[in-house]
Amino acid sequence: MDAQTRLELEAAAFRRLKKHLMEDRTDVQNIDMMNLTGFCRNCLSRWYQEAANEKGLEMSKHEGRMAFYGMSMDDWKANHQTDASPAQKQTFEKAFKENVTDT
């Protein structure tokens, strides 16, 4: 497989993952993703931002989230995010006590 085809396939897989998380599985909370996989939508938006910055494109954290979520974090939270349960918070704190991120 040539490099361009690989790049196109990886981009297609990313777009499908993004669509799945943003349209099909809005019920899955970021904290649950972090607790199970070690990454969440915020991580994906940050990786997108970091990739843009590495290519010389200025992109803020907010712009990265807007690009991934397709809306502001306030809108996402209002429409899809629920309060984390004590058990979810405990699992998160155990797993990520040194690297706590904002989910």
In-domain check, residue 95: no
* pLDDT number for residue 67: 93
pLDDT tens, residue by residue, 23-37: 999 999 999 999 999
In-domain check, residue 64: yes
Helices 61-69 & 73-80, crossing angle to 10 degrees? 40
Which of the 8 DSSP states describes residue 71?
S
In-domain check, residue 93: no
In terms of residue numbers, what domain contains 45? 3-81
Question: Residue 5 — left, alpha, or beta (φ > 0 → left; ψ -120 to 50 → alpha)?
Answer: alpha
In-domain check, residue 87: no
In-domain check, residue 86: no
**Does residue 20 register a pLDDT over 90?**
yes
In-domain check, residue 47: yes
Token couple for 8 = 């196109």
The total number of structural domains in the chain stands at: 1
CATH of the domain at 9: 1.10.3340.10
**Does residue 96 register a pLDDT over 90?**
no
* pLDDT number for residue 97: 73
**Does residue 100 register a pLDDT over 90?**
no
In-domain check, residue 103: no
In-domain check, residue 32: yes
- Helix (H) and strand (E) counts for the chain? 6, 0
